[in-house]
């Protein structure tokens, strides 16, 4: 062969080698993908056949329906709770472990340095310490149930069938204990009880704003407490830059619930509906179950890691909750001894504080020495360091949840109650978080009661931190249980709560300084009363429709004023098309409409117009009831009484128009210049993020359910609160509707799905159901349409 021929063949040979190499890489890549797939799938829980669970006394049947809801049938209470622990661990073990670690302040041990701040906060807030104190005071029967549940969880852990999350983080879960379950319960009190922020913000405002500016931003200015005001003015505690606002509970944690008398229903029996509004994520905060033994037959939801059913129904009654939102956390201005920073002044003497050494282990890092300092009032929550310079004053926090409480005994009472008297007796044990319970029974009773430890203060009403160095301040008990707000069989024929004010002017006790705006409550009442005739009565389908309602009563109040401003200020007709769009809007936050996009972003931008540059970012995040405060500033201004904040921003018309122009500029930059193409759903997208998804965009694509356009907003009955970037990560974490005429079943929705395993068919099968208001039926009479039966064998 000639040299010329060799030269001609050489390029082709190189190309062949490249093709061959690429082919090998593709094959190897495919094998890796297939291998990962099979590895992840290998930890799917067994849901059919038999499995030996040696801790059981007798066999237990676990039947999963078509949506993955486990129906557990056991012959004894011991085996029922053991099986509940085992099954929860099958579906949610990683979530359970992460939850106990977060609440206990031990996340950094498995996550690394990114969790150090979280661990410090939760060690300081002392949730696990409070759980341990509660355990010591529980009765033997409840302790036994918590131990049975832990036995079941550990039986599954010991099988060693761990999900990919444990492998990614490189650790194995420790043994489950009853304290872990109690700590998760205390975390829910934390998530629903962040009223200390109000006092911290108010303290900062009084230190850094003029009196007039502060008065307008304080939800309630303590006119009748000069000594408290003086203490806040003269003892400055550092607030700005001291608190990680990313770790604070969501501002909009709330819920809807209502119950309808049989007089207004098609079946002649009560209807009950509940949809708690909490953070949305993967997996869901709730886990749906049906528990059956000779002593009980109950269905509903529970937090993963906890025994019993906290919300739901049995064969005789149904119940649901919303958050009361009372002032149950008080800050005290503590004066430390300059010579000994573990001593604090009290009634003219230096008093030793408790100091807990709580070293924080850090994955791939050094253990951090950390101390929790606890005064007579509670833990010091300021950024308190034992350095050379002792601060002049710090905050400690008194909180009802840090006392021994017995919510799990209450839950077990709910599950077996058959009437209002028995249910109310169980309610007396539910101390933290304080909740609005609605109730219905097959005997036709409907009822409501607010429950929980709500403090009676010696001085003030929780508006500002109080002096910690005097016995003249503090708590002198709680509102007596029998004097908490309560209603039984009202003449109206219905009871509704939506975090709105639940007391009248004559109520003798202080409960809260602020409540949720009344818009959701008013809309629910309007819809109930709209179907109130002799021929047309309410059905369970009506209840479902109400839960998905997107009417914006917020817009009904403010949009007419805003339109007047826009027409006045838009002298050149630049925004005529958009103004017309808003005029024609029927004020439903539907995902396919443009007007909700303009209105909702406008109202957010009003706050930026008023506060940007005047409030530090973290102080703004601490600001309680910022929407209620801002709304009142707007009401006053439109009524002809503009305050200092609106006036300094140029007056009400200028505030609105400046905010409007910012809004339209932002919308055009993201969605184009044609208003006819804008939609609320292009911004407002339902998001169920997995806790590990933030570590990697690639991983997020694999483990996060797909985002979906969704209607609703933070103030509609179908609550859809977004994070300011359009990610709807807060709303109805569970939807529940039940007709007391037939308690053999209920209608439920737990999105994104029952399972925490990414390869499960029930991982995100209810995600679209959330958007479209679809429910599944959960039966408790054994009549299941599609089933997967697993027998837990005792030997």
Q: Which residues are catalytic?
A: 255
Give the separation between CA 322 and CA 57, rounded to whole angstroms: 38
Q: How many CA atoms lie within 13 A of 361 on its CB side?
A: 7
For residue 548 the two structure tokens come to: 């998905």
- Residue 272's nearest CA partner among 318, 306, 339, 223 is 318
Q: How many CB atoms lie within 10 A of CB 98?
A: 21
Sheet of 336-337: strand order equals 336-337, 340-346, 349-352
What is residue 114's DSSP assignment?
G
For residue 13 the two structure tokens come to: 């040979």
According to DSSP, the β-strands at 735-739 and 271-279 are antiparallel
What is residue 695's DSSP assignment?
G
For residue 290 the two structure tokens come to: 């049906």
Give the separation between CA 122 and CA 130, rounded to whole angstroms: 11
343: β partners: 352
According to DSSP, the β-strands at 727-732 and 685-686 are parallel
395: β partners: 333
Question: Cβ contacts of residue 699 below 8 Å, gap of 6+?
Answer: 692, 693
Q: Do 287 and 712 contact (CB within 8 A), yes or no?
A: no
Rounded to 5 degrees, what angle do the CA atoms 525, 531, 534 make?
135
Is residue 330 part of an annotated ligand binding site?
Answer: yes
What is residue 464's DSSP assignment?
S
**Rg of the chain taking only CA atoms, in angstroms:** 28
Is residue 327 part of an annotated ligand binding site?
Answer: yes
Q: Do 337 and 469 contact (CB within 8 A), yes or no?
A: no
Give the separation between CA 678 and CA 693, rounded to whole angstroms: 29
For residue 458 the two structure tokens come to: 């010696």
For residue 224 the two structure tokens come to: 């009748």
Give the separation between CA 149 and CA 81, rounded to whole angstroms: 5
For residue 49 the two structure tokens come to: 């056949």
For residue 659 the two structure tokens come to: 């905010």
Three-state SS annotation for 526-558: HHHHHCCCCCCCECHHHHHHHHCCCECHHHHHH
What is the DSSP code string of 558-592?
HHHHHHHHHHHH-TT-TTHHHHHHHHH--SB--TT
Quickly tell me which residue has 């939850």 as its tokens: 99
According to DSSP, the β-strands at 446-451 and 486-488 are antiparallel
For residue 689 the two structure tokens come to: 């993020």
Please give the annotated binding residues, written as ranges: 327, 330
Please give the annotated binding residues for Ca(2+), written as ranges: 327, 330
């Amino acid at each position: 062969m000639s040299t010329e021929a060799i030269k001609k063949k050489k390029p082709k040979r190189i190309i062949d080698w490249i093709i061959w190499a690429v082919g090998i890489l593709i094959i190897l890549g495919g094998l890796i993908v297939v291998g990962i797939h099979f590895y992840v799938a290998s930890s799917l829980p067994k849901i059919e056949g038999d499995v030996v669970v040696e801790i059981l006394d007798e066999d237990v049947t676990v039947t999963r329906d078509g949506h993955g809801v486990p129906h557990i049938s056991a012959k004894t209470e011991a085996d029922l709770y053991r099986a509940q622990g085992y099954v929860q661990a099958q579906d949610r073990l990683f979530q359970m472990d992460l939850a106990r670690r977060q609440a206990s302040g031990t996340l950094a041990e498995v996550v690394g340095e990114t969790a150090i701040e979280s661990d410090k906060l939760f060690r300081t807030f002392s949730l696990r310490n409070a759980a341990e104190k509660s355990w010591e005071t529980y009765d033997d029967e409840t302790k036994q149930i918590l131990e049975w549940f832990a036995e079941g969880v550990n039986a599954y852990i010991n099988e060693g069938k761990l999900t990919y999350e444990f492998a990614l983080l490189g650790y194995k879960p420790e043994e489950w204990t009853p304290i872990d379950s109690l700590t998760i319960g205390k975390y829910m009190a934390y998530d629903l009880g962040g009223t200390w922020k109000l006092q911290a913000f108010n303290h900062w405002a009084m230190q850094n704003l003029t009196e007039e500016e502060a008065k307008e931003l304080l939800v309630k200015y303590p006119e009748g407490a000069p000594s408290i005001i003086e203490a806040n003015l003269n003892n400055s505690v550092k607030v700005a830059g001291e608190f990680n606002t990313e770790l604070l509970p969501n501002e909009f944690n709330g819920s809807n619930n209502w119950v309808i008398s049989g007089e207004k229903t098609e079946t002649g029996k009560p209807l009950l509906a509940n949809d708690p509004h909490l953070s949305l994520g993967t997996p869901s905060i709730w886990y749906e179950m049906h528990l059956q033994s000779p002593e009980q037959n109950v269905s509903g939801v529970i937090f993963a890691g906890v025994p019993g059913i906290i919300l739901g129904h049995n064969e005789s009654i149904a119940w649901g909750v919303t958050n009361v939102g009372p002032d149950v956390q008080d800050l005290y201005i503590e004066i430390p001894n300059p010579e000994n920073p573990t001593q604090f002044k009290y009634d003219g003497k230096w008093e030793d504080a408790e100091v807990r050494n709580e070293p924080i282990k850090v994955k791939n890092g050094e253990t951090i020495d950390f101390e929790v300092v606890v005064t007579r009032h509670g833990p010091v929550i300021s950024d308190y360091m034992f350095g050379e310079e002792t601060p002049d004053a710090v905050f400690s926090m008194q909180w009802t949840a840090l006392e021994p409480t017995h919510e799990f005994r209450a839950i077990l009472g709910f599950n077996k109650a058959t009437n209002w008297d028995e249910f109310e007796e169980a309610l007396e044990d539910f101390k933290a978080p304080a909740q609005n319970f609605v109730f219905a029974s097959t005997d036709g009773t409907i009822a409501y009661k607010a429950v929980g430890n709500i403090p009676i203060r010696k001085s003030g009403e929780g508006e500002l931190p109080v002096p910690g160095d005097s016995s003249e301040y503090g708590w002198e008990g709680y509102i007596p249980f029998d004097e908490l707000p309560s209603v039984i069989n009202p003449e109206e024929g219905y009871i509704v709560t939506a975090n709105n004010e639940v007391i009248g002017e004559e109520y003798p006790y202080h409960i809260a300084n602020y409540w949720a705006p009344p818009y959701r409550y008013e809309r629910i009442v309007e819809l109930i009363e709209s179907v109130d005739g002799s021929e047309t009565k309410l059905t369970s389908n009506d209840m479902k429709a109400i839960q998905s309602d997107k009417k914006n009563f917020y817009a009904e109040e403010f949009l007419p004023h805003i339109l007047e401003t826009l027409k006045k200020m838009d002298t050149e007709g630049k925004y005529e098309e958009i103004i017309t769009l808003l005029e024609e809007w029927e004020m439903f936050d539907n995902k396919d409409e443009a007007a909700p996009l303009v209105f909702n972003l406008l109202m957010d931008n009003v706050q930026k117009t008023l506060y940007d540059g005047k409030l530090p970012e973290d102080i703004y995040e601490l600001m309680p009831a910022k929407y209620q405060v801002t709304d009142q500033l707007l009401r006053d201004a439109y009524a002809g009484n503009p305050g200092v904040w609106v006036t300094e921003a140029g007056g009400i018309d200028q505030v609105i128009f400046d905010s409007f122009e910012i809004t339209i500029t932002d919308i055009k930059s993201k969605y184009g210049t044609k208003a006819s193409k804008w939609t609320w759903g292009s911004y407002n997208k339902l998001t169920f993020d997995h806790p590990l998804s933030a570590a990697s965009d690639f991983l997020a694509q694999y483990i996060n359910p797909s985002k979906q356009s969704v209607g609703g907003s933070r103030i509609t009955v179908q609550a859809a609160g977004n994070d300011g970037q359009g990610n709807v990560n807060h709303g109805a974490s569970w939807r529940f509707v039940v007709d007391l005429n037939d308690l053999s079943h209920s209608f439920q929705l737990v999105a994104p799905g029952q399972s925490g395993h990414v390869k499960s068919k029930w991982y995100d099968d209810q995600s679209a159901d959330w958007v479209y208001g679809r429910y599944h039926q959960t039966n408790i009479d054994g009549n299941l349409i599609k089933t997967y039966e697993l027998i837990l064998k005792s030997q």
